[in-house]
Amino acid sequence: MERKDTYKLEKVGLRDVFIHFMHSEAFGGVFLCFTAVLAMIIANSPFKEQYFAFWQLKLGFEIQDLQTIFGFQIGDNGFIGFSIKEWISDVLMALFFLMVGLEIKREILFGELATFKKAIFPALAAIGGMIVPGLIYYCLNYNTPSAHGFGIPMATDIAFALGVIMLLKSRVPMALKVFLVTLAVVDDLGAIVVIALFYTSSLHYVWFLVAILLIVVLIVMNKMGVKILFPYLLVGIVLWFAIHHSGIHATIAAVILAFCIPTAPKTKFEDFAPLVGNMTKSFVQNNDTTQKFLNDSQVRALRDIQTELATVQSPLGRLQRTLHPWSAYFIMPLFGFANAGVSISGDITFNIDHIFLGIALGLIVGKPLGIFLTTFLCEKLGIAARPAGVSWVQILGAGMLAGIGFTMSIFVSDLAFENTANAHVAMEVSKIAILSSSLTAGIIGAFFLMLISKTKKNK
């Protein structure tokens, strides 16, 4: 079993790490916004045909006379691979969900979700902020083919929301920023559950059983105390393949893998300090004041220190730090660039059921309403209490920013409408609704919080 005391190094400067994370996430949100705007410009320019054709190009390889495995055909007529857009949405986004899963696990074990008292208020806010938008959309599209898109307005884009709230700087208290981050983490977990339960195609039981066996292997490795990342990642790749062919969306494999990654480092912090001290002493003792280059003993000492540095970091923390810049500065902007491009032309039918209205009202009205009403009722009933220094109007403002759906909403919309009639048009309408509603929610939320801050200063 893993012990919390082995994680002491990860707790050092947790506030500084948290602030650094928010700043980097905020920059990622700004970059994501830039790529989304660029995609919209290109999709409505003379280069729009090349833009849309590029994402449909196939990347992979062919094997002649490809046989079936476990009774299911692998590949399409001997071709193994995906279109460029599918590589981004299914493969690269799996790395994004792996990072999200690592973040959720870390918050549950050591962060803002570690205790019931810390977790209950933002968790209830997130649940309310998912249920109300989903109900608004579902009621407006009840008994139509588009009703399956109820999960679209449930999501919050943490990068965009944090990007906006960080631009407000001192106008927003740190406690409100922590509340929004924690809410978004729980929201991500809820979105993952919704995808697993409601956006799964027909289940192939043989592949599903293979996936279950691989999950058992990951759990056994964790319980046996395996701290090397490579075996987990190797099993995780096979798990992605099995879940992809089971009919469940493959990104779920990344979240399952994340929850199996160990949190305890190989070397305890209390053992690491004297060990490095001895290595440093050895390095100094082998120093010659006349030497121009490091000698063999010093090089060995530096290599030993480098090796030990890896062992004192938890596998979870090490993988999360590796994935975060790739996710924030490459995967999410690339996903935004591939999916935000919508050609706004006269042939788009906005009156397909009530997709546009359902998403718009869900994100702009449903999100803040659900977050505010749920938390207000829970505090009045004594179930949870607001963070110190945060007012109800600020909770409402944070709820408005939570209406920025973007990445997760677009991701869910692709799943919701892929097998429906007029799927392409429905996806286009939903993306326009997501982009316009997220922009509106961000602007309203930012101005609302700025107005609150100004009102407080004038008192």
CB 127 within 8 A of CB 341: no
* CB atoms inside a 10 Å sphere around CB 346: 5
pLDDT for residue 26:
61
Max CA separation in the chain (angstroms): 84
Dist CA 129 CA 367 (whole Å): 5
pLDDT for residue 277:
62
Q: Is the pLDDT of residue 74 over 80?
A: no
Q: What is the DSSP letter of 351?
A: T
Q: Which helix (H) or strand (E) holds 430?
A: helix 423-458
pLDDT for residue 213:
96
Alpha helix (H) residue ranges in 224-366? 229-246, 251-260, 269-285, 296-312, 315-326, 332-339, 355-361
pLDDT digits (tens, 9 = 90+) for 232-255: 999 999 999 898 888 777 878 888
Q: Is the pLDDT of residue 21 over 80?
A: no
- Phi, psi dihedrals of residue 376, rounded to the nearest 5°: -65, -45
pLDDT for residue 5:
43
Confidence band for 9, pLDDT divided at 50, 70 and 90 = very low
Dist CA 100 CA 258 (whole Å): 8
Global pTM reads 0.73
Dist CA 222 CA 216 (whole Å): 10
Name the CA dihedral angle for 384, 388, 393, 398, rounded to a multiple of 10 degrees: -80
Q: Is the pLDDT of residue 205 over 90?
A: no
Q: Is the pLDDT of residue 331 over 60?
A: yes
pLDDT for residue 23:
55
- The residue type of 170 is S
Closest alpha carbon to 102 in 38, 10, 33: 10
Confidence band for 130, pLDDT divided at 50, 70 and 90 = very high
Residue count of the chain? 459
Beta bridge partners of 72: 69
Q: Which helix (H) or strand (E) holds 81?
A: strand 79-83
The mean pLDDT value for 320-340 works out to 85
Dist CA 218 CA 190 (whole Å): 23
pLDDT for residue 96:
86
Q: Is the pLDDT of residue 443 over 80?
A: yes
pLDDT digits (tens, 9 = 90+) for 86-120: 888 888 888 988 988 888 888 888 877 777 777 88
Q: Is the pLDDT of residue 7 over 50?
A: no
pLDDT for residue 273:
61
Q: Per mean pLDDT, which range of 41-55, 69-83, 313-327, 335-349 is the poorest?
A: 69-83
Dist CA 390 CA 125 (whole Å): 14
What mean pLDDT value characterizes the chain? 80
Q: Is the pLDDT of residue 217 over 90?
A: yes
CB 175 within 8 A of CB 388: yes
Which residue segments constitute the domains of the chain, with CATH numbers given?
Answer: 40-63+79-200+249-264+314-456 (1.20.1530.10), 272-283+294-313 (no CATH)
Confidence band for 3, pLDDT divided at 50, 70 and 90 = very low
Query: 363: helix, coil or strand?
Result: helix
CB 81 within 8 A of CB 61: yes
Closest alpha carbon to 311 in 227, 225, 218, 222: 227
CB < 8 Å & 24+ apart, contacts of 9-12: 9/265, 9/269, 9/272, 9/312, 9/313, 9/314, 10/106, 10/110, 10/263, 10/313, 10/314, 10/317, 11/110
More confident residue, 50 or 278: 50
CB 404 within 8 A of CB 375: no
Q: Which helix (H) or strand (E) holds 40?
A: helix 14-43
- The residue type of 181 is V
Dihedral (CA of 377, 381, 384, 390) sign? positive
Sequence-separated (6 or more) residues with CB below 8 Å from residue 229: 261, 315, 318, 319
Confidence band for 124, pLDDT divided at 50, 70 and 90 = very high
Q: Is the pLDDT of residue 435 over 70?
A: yes
Q: Which helix (H) or strand (E) holds 409?
A: helix 406-417
pLDDT digits (tens, 9 = 90+) for 158-183: 777 777 777 776 778 878 888 888 88
pLDDT for residue 176:
85
* CB atoms inside a 10 Å sphere around CB 278: 11
- The residue type of 285 is Q
Q: What is the DSSP letter of 120?
A: H
Confidence band for 320, pLDDT divided at 50, 70 and 90 = confident
pLDDT for residue 365:
95
Q: Retrieve residue 67's tokens.
A: 């046989």
pLDDT for residue 215:
94
Q: Is the pLDDT of residue 16 over 60?
A: no
The number of angstroms, rounded, from the C-alpha of 456 to the middle of its chain's C-alpha atoms is 34
Sequence-separated (6 or more) residues with CB below 8 Å from residue 302: 283, 294
Closest alpha carbon to 197 in 156, 151, 236, 157: 151
Q: Is the pLDDT of residue 29 over 80?
A: no
pLDDT digits (tens, 9 = 90+) for 339-371: 888 777 656 666 778 899 999 999 999 999 999
